[in-house]
Amino acid sequence: MRLAGPLRIVALVVSVGLTWIVVSILLGGPGSGFPRIQQLFTSPESSVTAAPRARRYKCGLPQPCPEEHLAFRVVSGAANVIGPKICLEDKMLMSSVKDNVGRGLNIALVNDVNDLLKFIRPLHEGTLVFVASYDDPATKMNEETRKLFSELGSRNAKELAFRDSWVFVGAKGVQNKSPFEQHVKNSKHTNKYEGWPEALEMEGCIPRRSTAS
């Protein structure tokens, strides 16, 4: 009696059954302790959930300003190589890219002491003043300019020296000293760069000036 036919049928049934078991295991069927087939071809890096991108607010602030406040960021120059930046309400007012910064005190690119006095003296009450140093803020300052900056709310204008780093936001007619000011002295013991201290970066929210109805 020939058994070739029945044996072929049995072999086919066994082959199909084994194939089904293997596929079930690889696909992670019920009770399977093996990884799913997708995991076999997935790198560990791609299986990690990507961290959500941090939301960007005006001028790159980490959080939005309250209503009736202005977002700002002021960055001093780094040594005499990288220029300062002044951003207000997401608008870059001054930067090297805009090509409107220069060494000294950057207040709409005013560096000469006589022009500086002409620029500051006629300011209207409540006018905001943003200042970022670049290379050297003090050499061309005289006593009158230091006094004017002090009247704008600066605590450090009177002691600024050669190649100090300084960022400041003040206003015409303020009654108290401004909370928005940073100053690092030029010192060979603490300088980050050869001959210059570190660059300063300051950001925050300034209340809008209230207007009488």
Question: Is 62 inside a domain boundary?
Answer: yes
Q: Please choose, from the candidates 106, 56, 67, the residue with its C-alpha nearest in 3D space to the C-alpha of residue 205.
A: 67
Question: Is 41 inside a domain boundary?
Answer: no
Question: Is 50 inside a domain boundary?
Answer: no
Q: Please choose, from the candidates 178, 176, 196, 110, the residue with its C-alpha nearest in 3D space to the C-alpha of residue 167.
A: 178
Residues of the chain with pLDDT below 70 are 1-52, 54, 108-111, 210-213
pLDDT at residue number 34: 45
Domain count, the chain: 1
User: Alpha carbon of 133 to those of 16, 161, 164, 212: distances in Å?
Assistant: 79, 11, 8, 35
Question: Is 166 inside a domain boundary?
Answer: yes
- State pTM to two decimals: 0.68
Q: Please choose, from the candidates 78, 76, 81, 183, the residue with its C-alpha nearest in 3D space to the C-alpha of residue 130.
A: 76
Question: Is 180 inside a domain boundary?
Answer: yes
- Both tokens assigned to 142: 């005289």
* Structure confidence by residue, pLDDT tens digits, 146-169: 999 999 999 999 999 999 999 999
- Both tokens assigned to 137: 């803020």
Cα–Cα dist 195/208, whole Å: 38
Question: Is 135 inside a domain boundary?
Answer: yes
Question: Is 77 inside a domain boundary?
Answer: yes
pLDDT at residue number 120: 83
| Residue range(s) defining the domain that contains residue 91 | 58-207
pLDDT at residue number 50: 61
Question: Is 145 inside a domain boundary?
Answer: yes
pLDDT at residue number 58: 94
Q: Please choose, from the candidates 121, 126, 73, 80, the residue with its C-alpha nearest in 3D space to the C-alpha of residue 102.
A: 80
Q: Residues 111, 105: contact at Cβ < 8 Å?
A: yes
